[in-house]
Each structure stands twice: as structure tokens, then as C-alpha cells.
């Protein structure tokens, strides 16, 4: 089914290519290869880092820092990065930020043979923090590069194909990674997986080098906000189990700095919506540090079994995304976001009572379908509800709430697991996800 979906996307692309200028086709091919190679990073190094440190004996706090650290860096550096990028050619800035962020994947390969377990865990936490500083520049800059490189009339097709490629490569890579880890000693197996991620990062960065000539001059003022949401396959935004959605407001908006953060924007219904989405993202990240500990320490799953669940999750994201336009038309983006949030509560709930691999796979399929709903509708829902006259400021507040939720949810989730145990922490996450879904459904 996944291969058929991907083939259908390729056919649509070829059909549209008949009227596509050669220079655009070359750019789009680079963007497709960029995300395909990055899918290898996401399905190997990033997907299994949490599992690896859990096998090394990581505490809930250490796992929480892997998720919370990048959010803290994002809160501190997003606005300064916008100012820095505004005065520089975006293509070259994106390439060099990718180099300085992704070069650190190389150190992941060697740490397993250079340090003991606890030193490795803290080193990986530190490396993730260090990588996130240029990674923030990459995430913000790539939005500007994408808007400059892809004309408005082609963005839906390019974003859809990139998302499909990311999901497809992620599924295949996670399955291959699980097989490798299942047949190799722990240290050697993870060195191979991390080496795969480094190769994928190098090749993805090469594609960005080929786009270094792109500048922000191609961004037209009326489009900069309307088209800034949609491509979920942005380098640097894929995290554990694919539960990350970044909503950015574009390069020019970030250069406005503190003028974006006006409290008046939060008056009325939009403030309630931001509050509900803060609770959702908080609940989304609360159980993330708990999942690897539960799979490894409680269920004693092998890396192959964990990889199988990861593949099922992202395969369902890809399949579900094929029907999102039809569902959004029938239900509306608000209801679809709320329903997705409600269904996502089933993931930690069922995980808490998972007795075997079969239930784990079913849980992953349900979670992937729910996430497809949220990922397909939330960006458009935010654009619909943001005050039209203050859309940059409205989306900036949402971005701030998102990073604050990631930071606080990841840290509190790890602390909660230590205080009350793994299963109760998962149940708290499920309850909060359900309540946030009800709030989104109720608050218009």
C-alpha cells in the first residue's frame, strides 16, 4: 500500500512536469533528494538514539533532556537567528548551518567505543544541544529557502512529495536498522546505525549545497505568511516517533523581534486556542522520555521489534496523509485537529497496557493514523484562527507556546516517571492529550 501511494505521487509529479520549467524541475529534484537522504538520518540515528541510551541505563531525566534541550535552544536562538539571516544570502546560510549541525553525527559513531555508558549518555545529550544551535538556524533558514525556491503554485505538490518521501524512507530505514541491531552486538550495531545516519546527513547537506544560489529575493510579500506552513519534511524537525510539528512564521517575520510578541493578540478566542494547543503539545511530549524506558525495561523488546513499531507508525502517517484533504473538507481543520488529538491519547494509554508485540504494532498503527490527522490539519487550523491583521504575531505566539510545551513537557515527563512510575506517567499523558482534544473541539 505504501509503495502504491508513493508511485501515485511520482505519477502526479511527472504529469505536472510537462509544464514545468527546467530550472524549477532541477530545484525540485534537489529538494526531493534532500529529504530522501535525511529520511535515512531520521530512520536510523534519530529514531534509535533514545532506545540506545535507554539500553545504556539512561534515567528518565536524561531521556527528557534529549527532547527538552532542543526546545530550550530554540526558545533562546530563534529570534536572534532571524535577525542574523536577514542580512545574508539564505542559500549559503542554510548550507553552512547544515554542515555545522550535521557534522556532529560523526561523533555519534565513535562514542560507543570511547566512553563508558554514563559518559556516553551525557555526551549524546551535550551533542544534541550543540547541534541544535546551528540546527535552529537551519530550520528557520530552510523555510525562507523553500519559499524562495518553490513558486506558490507548486508548493502543495512539492511539500506533499517531500512528506511522502520522508515517510517512505523512514519506514524502510527503521526496518533495516532494526534488522541490523537484532543481528549485531550492541556496540557494533549502533555504530553501524549511526554511520548510516552520518552518510545520510552528508548526502542531504550536499543537496543543500546545490541550492546555495537561492536567495530570499524571490519571496513576494503577500505569500510570506500564507505559504509558511505545509512542508512538514523540513530538516532538523524530525524527532522521536515523528511527533514533532513545527509551525514557523517565515524569515522576515522573525526579524521583527519583540514587536511580534504583543499581548493584545491573545485576547479573545485566539488566546484560548493557543492555550489549548499548549496543553496538547505539553501532553504530546510528556510521555516521550517514558516510551523508550517502557519498551526496553518493561516490555524487553528487541531493537527489531521497536523498529517494526516505528515503521508501522510512520507507514500509517503516510497512508493517512493521502486522505487528509478529503477529511479536512468534510470535517474542517478544527474538528480534524481535535479528533487527532483525542485519538493520540490512545497511544500512551494502550502502551501502558501493552502485553506483547502484536498490541504494540496495533498501537503504533493507531498512533500513526492519529498523527496524520494532526499533522495534516493543525497548520491550516492555525492559519484559519490567527487574526488576519496580526498573523505574524499570532503565529509567533504559537511558536513560543510550542517550544515552551516541548521544554516543560519533556522535563516534567521524565520527573513524573521517576516520582510515580512509568505506567502512571503514561496514563497522565493520555489523560492530558484527551483533555486537550476536547478543549480544541469546544473552543472555537
Residue 306's pLDDT is what? 92
Grid cell of 238 as nine digits = 524530525
Residue 259's pLDDT is what? 60
Residues ≥6 apart with Cβ < 8 Å to 140: 78, 81, 82, 85, 248, 251, 254
Grid cell of 259 as nine digits = 514587536
Range of the domain at 424: 266-444
Residue 385's pLDDT is what? 78
Distance, CA of 370 to CA of 409 (rounded, Å): 20
Report the number of distinct structural domains present in the chain: 2
pTM over 0.75: yes
CATH of the domain at 162: 1.20.1250.20
Examine the fold and report which residue of 168, 191, 221 is the final residue of a domain before the chain moves on: 221
In a domain, 257, yes or no: no
Which residue, among 388, 404, 370, has the nearest Cα to 275 in the 3D structure?
A: 404
* pLDDT above 70: residue 59: yes
What mean pLDDT value characterizes the chain? Answer: 82
The tens digit of pLDDT for each residue in 123-161 reads 999 999 999 889 888 877 887 788 788 887 787 678 778
Examine the fold and report which residue of 221, 256, 285 is the final residue of a domain before the chain moves on: 221
Which residue, among 139, 161, 142, 155, has the nearest Cα to 318 in the 3D structure?
A: 161
Residue 260's pLDDT is what? 58
* pLDDT above 90: residue 102: yes
Distances in Å between the Cα of 107 and the Cα atoms of 34, 102, 212, 270 are 22, 10, 26, 44
In a domain, 397, yes or no: yes
The verdict on 210 and 319 lying in the same domain is no
Examine the fold and report which residue of 194, 221, 248 is the final residue of a domain before the chain moves on: 221
In a domain, 69, yes or no: yes
The verdict on 165 and 286 lying in the same domain is no
The verdict on 279 and 421 lying in the same domain is yes
The verdict on 100 and 192 lying in the same domain is yes
In a domain, 6, yes or no: no
Grid cell of 54 as nine digits = 535507554
In a domain, 298, yes or no: yes
In a domain, 227, yes or no: no
* pLDDT above 50: residue 221: no
The verdict on 127 and 206 lying in the same domain is yes
Grid cell of 256 as nine digits = 521583527
Amino acid at each position: 500500500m505504501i509503495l502504491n501511494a508513493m508511485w501515485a505521487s511520482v505519477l502526479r509529479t511527472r504529469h505536472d512536469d510537462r509544464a514545468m520549467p527546467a530550472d524549477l524541475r532541477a530545484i525540485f529534484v534537489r529538494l526531493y533528494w534532500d529529504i530522501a537522504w535525511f529520511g535515512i538520518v531520521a530512520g536510523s540515528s534519530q529514531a534509535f538514539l533514545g532506545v540506545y541510551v535507554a539500553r545504556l541505563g539512561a534515567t528518565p531525566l536524561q531521556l527528557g533532556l534529549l527532547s527538552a534541550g532542543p526546545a530550550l535552544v530554540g526558545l533562546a536562538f530563534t529570534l536572534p537567528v532571524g535577525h542574523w539571516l536577514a542580512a545574508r544570502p539564505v542559500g549559503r546560510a542554510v548550507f553552512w548551518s547544515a554542515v555545522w549541525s550535521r557534522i556532529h553525527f560523526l561523533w555519534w559513531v565513535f562514542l560507543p567505543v570511547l566512553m563508558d555508558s554514563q559518559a556516553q549518555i551525557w555526551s549524546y545529550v551535550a551533542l544534541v544541544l550543540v547541534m541544535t544551535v546551528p540546527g535552529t538556524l537551519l530550520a528557520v533558514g530552510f523555510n525562507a529557502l523553500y519559499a524562495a525556491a518553490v513558486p506558490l503554485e507548486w508548493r502543495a505538490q512539492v511539500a506533499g512529495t517531500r512528506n511522502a518521501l520522508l515517510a517512505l524512507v523512514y519506514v524502510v530505514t527503521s526496518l533495516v536498522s532494526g534488522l541490523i541491531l537484532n543481528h549485531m552486538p550492541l556496540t557494533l550495531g549502533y555504530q553501524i546505525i549511526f554511520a548510516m545516519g552520518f552518510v545520510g546527513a552528508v548526502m542531504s547537506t550536499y543537496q543543500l549545497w546545490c541550492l546555495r544560489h537561492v536567495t530570499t529575493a524571490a519571496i513576494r510579500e503577500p505569500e510570506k505568511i500564507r505559504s509558511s506552513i505545509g512542508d512538514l519534511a523540513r530538516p532538523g524537525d524530525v524527532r522521536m516517533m515523528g511527533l514533532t510539528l513545527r509551525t514557523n512564521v517565515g524569515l522576515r517575520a522573525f526579524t521583527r523581534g519583540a514587536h511580534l510578541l504583543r499581548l493584545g493578540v491573545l485576547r479573545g478566542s485566539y488566546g484560548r486556542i493557543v492555550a489549548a494547543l499548549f496543553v496538547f503539545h505539553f501532553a504530546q511530549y510528556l510521555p516521550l522520555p517514558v516510551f523508550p524506558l517502557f519498551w526496553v525495561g518493561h516490555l524487553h523488546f528487541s531493537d527489531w521489534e521497536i523498529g517494526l513499531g516505528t515503521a508501522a507508525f510512520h507507514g500509517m502517517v503516510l497512508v493517512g496523509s493521502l486522505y487528509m484533504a478529503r477529511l479536512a473538507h468534510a470535517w474542517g481543520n478544527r474538528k480534524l485537529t481535535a479528533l487527532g488529538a483525542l485519538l493520540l491519547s490512545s497511544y500512551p494509554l494502550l502502551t501502558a497496557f501493552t502485553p506483547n508485540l502484536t498490541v504494540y504494532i496495533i498501537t503504533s498503527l493507531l498512533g500513526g493514523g492519529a498523527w496524520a490527522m494532526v499533522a495534516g490539519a493543525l497548520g491550516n487550523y492555525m492559519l484559519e484562527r490567527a487574526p488576519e491583521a496580526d498573523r505574524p504575531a499570532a503565529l509567533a505566539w504559537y511558536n513560543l507556546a510550542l517550544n515552551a510545551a516541548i521544554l516543560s513537557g519533556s522535563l516534567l515527563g521524565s520527573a513524573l516517571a521517576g516520582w510515580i512510575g512509568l505506567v502512571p506517567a503514561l496514563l497522565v499523558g493520555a489523560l492530558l492529550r484527551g483533555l486537550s482534544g476536547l478543549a480544541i473541539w469546544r473552543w472555537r
